[in-house]
Amino acid sequence: MTAARGRGRPRDPETDSAILRAALELFIERGVEGTSIEQIAKRAGVGKLTVYRRWSTKEDLIAQAVEQTVSADMVPTPGEVRDLAPQDIVERALKTAAETTASPAFRALVARMMGAAVSHPRLMAVYWKHHVLPRRELAAAMLRRAQQEGTVAADADLDVLIDMMAGAVTWRVLQPDPPDAAAMLGYLKSVYRQVGLYRDAD
Amino acid sequence: MTAARGRGRPRDPETDSAILRAALELFIERGVEGTSIEQIAKRAGVGKLTVYRRWSTKEDLIAQAVEQTVSADMVPTPGEVRDLAPQDIVERALKTAAETTASPAFRALVARMMGAAVSHPRLMAVYWKHHVLPRRELAAAMLRRAQQEGTVAADADLDVLIDMMAGAVTWRVLQPDPPDAAAMLGYLKSVYRQVGLYRDAD
């Protein structure tokens, strides 16, 4: 290990994941303003330079840490979008989406990410580019198919529709008395039904 | 002044507004975690006890400071809801709503309020009760009237619809490349059109 590290700084996956885990924990506990590369290095049990070798700013590091966490979400894969009806995609994703979005970890992350959006725009910019935007493109593809099938209005502004869906969920989980997974399941059905992406069983 | 203050601590409106202004500035600059009653007192040029006499926690103080700032918003007065068609209310409010929500101050406030929602739930709870909830009730009354008039679906979940409208706007202003007032005007029309509260001019 020591010898290998000497040659051209190969990346150690375990070190990377310890750093990412520490970054995520500190971000949730203290927000972006209360978190420093130094604290992240200390909690991960590595030197500050080890972190800087991999990430040049704490915003990039935190953005990647958040990306790796938010894996189960409400957006389909490219294959699903190609092969399945939009309502079937939504139906299949609902249970996991409800569990994810009702979890305390999701609420805490949403609050911290939104809280950093104006004071630390680079964090949101990196997260937007690498995480949000690809998912929005898949959601838009699904909505276009629903437009062709007539369940979403042909003249609807899809970017606005996506904001309305994502915005409703993120705003709902930050309100007092946030829903548990069962209540969130009903909530998501309501949101998708309103947009034209959910049909009630006969 | 000194004599008057000695008798039963009458409230001095100028002192109150200096404290509220200082609380708002510090909250926007540093977030709830970076703001203390001590710093607020110092910036307002008053003693710490003067602040504590009026507000028992920084969350209550910040919530009131935010409430006083967010005055022009997208929700009608009770009189307008009673007397006007929902589409006319929306039409009249659009320009001010676009200017307010596109302003840097609004973006900063939204980010800070959402950022504090999980770490400092009391702040959101106070703001929710005194500011958000009364406005949601007016919005719901407007939506019920639109349901009677047939532009909003009779079976729509109004709480979800309100979340979709408010959530879209708050999420949009936190995204990279936020809209200016002109772009926001078009955005708001899209949101209200989608819900059934905006009709394009013939």
Which value does ipTM take for this structure? 0.90
Confidence at residue B71, expressed as pLDDT on a 0 to 100 scale:
62
Q: How far is B109 from chain A (nearest CA, A)?
A: 9
Does residue B43 belong to any structural domain of this protein? yes
Most B-contacting residue of A26, A152, A163 (CB-CB within 10 A), to test interface: A163
Does residue B189 belong to any structural domain of this protein? yes
| pLDDT tens string A56-75 | 999 999 999 998 877 645 56
Q: Measured at the alpha carbon of residue A60, what is the angle toward residues A54 and A65, in degrees to the nearest 5?
A: 85
Domain shared by A90 and A189, yes or no: yes
Confidence at residue A9, expressed as pLDDT on a 0 to 100 scale:
54
Domain shared by A179 and A98, yes or no: yes
Q: To the nearest whole number, what is the mean pLDDT of chain B? A: 90
Does residue B179 belong to any structural domain of this protein? yes
Gap between the Cα atoms of B31 and B36, Å rounded: 10
A169 contacts in B (CB within 8 Å)?
167
Query: Can you tell me the mean pLDDT for B177-187?
Result: 97
Show the domain range for B59.
2-66
- Of the residues B43, B66, B89, which one is the last residue of a structural domain? B66
Number of structural domains (chain B) is 2
Question: Is B163 touching A (CB cutoff 8 A)?
Answer: yes
Most A-contacting residue of B29, B35, B62, B114 (CB-CB within 10 A), to test interface: B114
Gap between the Cα atoms of A81 and B94, Å rounded: 36
Does residue B102 belong to any structural domain of this protein? yes
Confidence at residue A80, expressed as pLDDT on a 0 to 100 scale:
83
Does residue A201 belong to any structural domain of this protein? no
Most A-contacting residue of B30, B173, B174, B187 (CB-CB within 10 A), to test interface: B174
Q: Which residue of B has its CA nearest to A171?
A: B167
Question: Is B156 touching A (CB cutoff 8 A)?
Answer: yes
Compare A42 and A135 and report the one with higher pLDDT: A42
- Of the residues B47, B66, B85, which one is the last residue of a structural domain? B66
A177 contacts in B (CB within 8 Å)?
none
A157 contacts in B (CB within 8 Å)?
190, 194
Compare B200 and B184 and report the one with higher pLDDT: B184
Gap between the Cα atoms of B112 and A116, Å rounded: 8
Task: Look up the CATH number of the domain holding residue B10.
Answer: 1.10.10.60
Query: Can you tell me the mean pLDDT for B140-160?
Result: 94
DSSP string covering chain A: -HHHHHTT----HHHHHHHHHHHHHHHHHHTTTT--HHHHHHHHTS-HHHHHHH-SSHHHHHHHHHHHH--S-S---HHHHHHS-HHHHHHHHHHHHHHHHHSHHHHHHHHHHHHHTTT-HHHHHHHIIIIIHHHHHHHHHHHHHHHHHTSS-TT--HHHHHHHHHHHHHHHHHSSS---HHHHHHHHHHHHHHHT------
Q: Measured at the alpha carbon of residue A16, what is the angle toward residues A12 and A22, in degrees to the nearest 5?
A: 145
Most B-contacting residue of A30, A133, A135, A164 (CB-CB within 10 A), to test interface: A164
B187 contacts in A (CB within 8 Å)?
160
Does residue A177 belong to any structural domain of this protein? yes
Facing B114 at nearest CB: one of A111, A124, A156: A111
Question: Is B161 touching A (CB cutoff 8 A)?
Answer: yes
Nearest to A139 by CA among A187, A93, A105: A93
Asked if A171 lies within 8 A of B163 by C-beta distance, the reply is yes
Query: Can you tell me the mean pLDDT for A173-192?
Result: 97
Asked if A176 lies within 8 A of B125 by C-beta distance, the reply is yes
Domain shared by B16 and B83, yes or no: no
B171 contacts in A (CB within 8 Å)?
114, 163, 166-167, 170-171
Domain shared by B108 and B140, yes or no: yes
